Amino acid sequence: MPLHVLDHPLAGHLLAELRDKSTHPERFRLLTESLTTLLVLQATYGIRTRQDMVETPIKPTAVTVLDQPLAVVPVLRAGLGMLQPPLRLFPDVAVGYIGLERHEDTAIARSYYSKLPTLTGRFTLCLDPMLATGGSAAQAISLIKEHGATQIAMVSIVSAPEGVAYLQARHPDVPIVTAALDEGLNSRKYIVPGLGDFGDRLYGTP
């Protein structure tokens, strides 16, 4: 499935401030929510709708309404910063959580927590702000599929080409929606230029 790099002036502006190392955690969280709103709108473009009728103050009129529930699955802990926008935007949202911890030396993710609802029939978003090696995202999407999801989108704020290629190879049916495709990974498997450790900057931890 294709890679969608968000092409909007506001997205670029928000991302610029997120990248800035002087941005404080409170502001960082607000920027994350604003940028996630734009990403979620792009990612859910294909959600199912149906036609209905409503009474306006003037006359009855045909309208388009949502006809498919949504599910969002943030990858802990950094993905929690992306959770609120879809909850505010959509009327029927189920939430699951996947905990994956990356080993600093090997960069291989270890699963330590998973709590997912039944996802059958739901348009499902996997939220992870940094798509670096792609290992965590691929593991998370495998778990999401095991719980019945068939229509899934991966939503990240910054992605590396290595992570995109890895995820597309293992889950070619899953589109990736991101605000930036960066240069690549450094020797520690951090995205370059990236924006640092997203979870640390989100929560103000060293």
CA distances from 91 to 49, 65, 77 (A): 13, 11, 24
Structure tokens belonging to residue 72: 């969002």
Contact (Cβ atoms closer than 8 angstroms) between residue 202 and residue 25: yes
CA 98 to chain CA mean position, Å: 13
Is 200 labeled as catalytic in the residue annotation?
Answer: yes
Could you say which of 19, 77, 102, 170 is catalytic?
102
Angle subtended by helix axes 9-19 and 25-43, to nearest 10: 150
Is 7 labeled as catalytic in the residue annotation?
Answer: no
Is 67 labeled as catalytic in the residue annotation?
Answer: no
Query: For residues 79 and 71, what is the distance between their CA atoms, to the nearest angstrom?
Result: 14
AA letter at 83:
L
Give 16-20 contacts, CB < 8 A, sequence gap 24+. 18/157, 18/195, 19/193, 19/194, 19/195
Could you say which of 106, 118, 150, 205 is catalytic?
106
Could you say which of 20, 67, 173, 200 is catalytic?
200
Could you say which of 52, 67, 92, 197 is catalytic?
197
Is 197 labeled as catalytic in the residue annotation?
Answer: yes
- Supply the residues annotated as catalytic: 102, 106, 197, 200
